[in-house]
Amino acid sequence: MASIDTVQARLAELIDPQTGRSYASAKCLRNLRLEGDTVSLEVVLPYPAASLHPAIHAQFSAALQTLDGVHDVKLGISSQIVAHAVQRGVPLLNGVKNVIAVASGKGGVGKSTTAANLALALAAEGARVGLLDADIYGPSQPTMLGVAGQQPESPDGQHLKPVSGHGIQVMSIGFLIDTEQPMVWRGPMVTQALMQLLNDTHWDNVDYLIIDLPPGTGDIQLTLSQKVPVTGAVIVTTPQDIALLDARKGLKMFEKVGVPILGLVENMSMHICSNCGHAEPIFGEGGGAAMSADYHTELLGQLPLELSIRLNADSGRPSVIADPDGKAAGIYREIARKVAIKVAEKAQDFSSRFPKIVIKKDA
């Protein structure tokens, strides 16, 4: 008959296919009990993975029911996402556990589309997600998320309540200005506007705040890396040599200011003909993989140049929402899962637990 020791020994052999580590070594197993012929326990993952729950349940049931005398497995699966370490000396944002910057060296590489679908994919896996559109000159997220024309509420006259779009919390300068009015602002005004949007928004218990950065390596990017607690950055590029040159500059900038690079996303890696399905690398091939190898970072995923991705974003229903079972949505979900796992592997931030010293003068 199975004992609690044999059950623990069997559980120690189970490997999380997403991380390559055993669930036991990652401290994901809680409240293990053996009562008669029934094993009950909880699996608490450090990353959101709602779509993987059936596979995880099947994995544990198959392993434990081979033990002598075990006929039933009661398994609870959940995720517990915590705050992780950021740049030294930068405090965490109120209501936000982790900040992920999505950046590109140049415009037109699909960065905003990637940011929107990444945020929606994390939310689809069960996380609480916020999305900050940091492109002050050309905000696009209100349109992409189908919330253009809405205005955020201000319950106290000082803070803004983010707009809800497809289940995620969204903030953009596009909610506060006329969409046809150009932002003729100099750098200091733009960075001040970004910090106000970030700090004056009442983010509600966000696990991941995705920041859609403007292209380049200018004032906004430097301000973000120096004053905002960024957990990590995702670089978006295309396989084209010119785009890769600028993407390398963006990656090096984050490295210099101590922001970890979570990985690289290659957009437009292959053109898919909407009539015949023929695939052709019109912007070149292998560029993203070569850059990842040069900088010892991971190529998180490669998105095709596909008409549906553009149409879905323009209609306010990005691919993860418009076609959740489609190929593009599957790639975005895989990228999101890899990003969440890389964040989970970082050191935790315990600053909120430190006592605060207050010095008072005697009356």
Distance of alpha carbon 129 from alpha carbon 126, whole angstroms: 9
Strand order in the sheet with 72-79: 29-35, 38-45, 72-79
**322 backbone φψ class: left, alpha, beta (φ>0; ψ -120 to 50):** alpha
Distance of alpha carbon 185 from alpha carbon 183, whole angstroms: 6
Closest residue by Cα to residue 345 from 56, 18, 12: 18
**C-alpha R_g of the chain:** 22
Q: Which residues sit opposite 236 in a β-bridge?
A: 265
Reading the block at residue 140, the tokens are 């696009």
Enumerate residues 6+ apart whose C-beta is below 8 A from 262.
100, 232, 233, 234, 297, 298, 300, 339, 342, 343
Kind plus residue range of the DSSP H or E element containing 191? helix 187-199
Binding residue numbers: 105-112
Distance of alpha carbon 146 from alpha carbon 317, whole angstroms: 7
Query: 277-288 b/e with 16+ CB inside 10 Å = b?
Result: eeeeeebbeebb
Binding residue numbers for ATP: 105-112
Residues 34, 4 contacting (CB under 8 angstroms): yes
Closest residue by Cα to residue 241 from 275, 288, 200, 194: 288
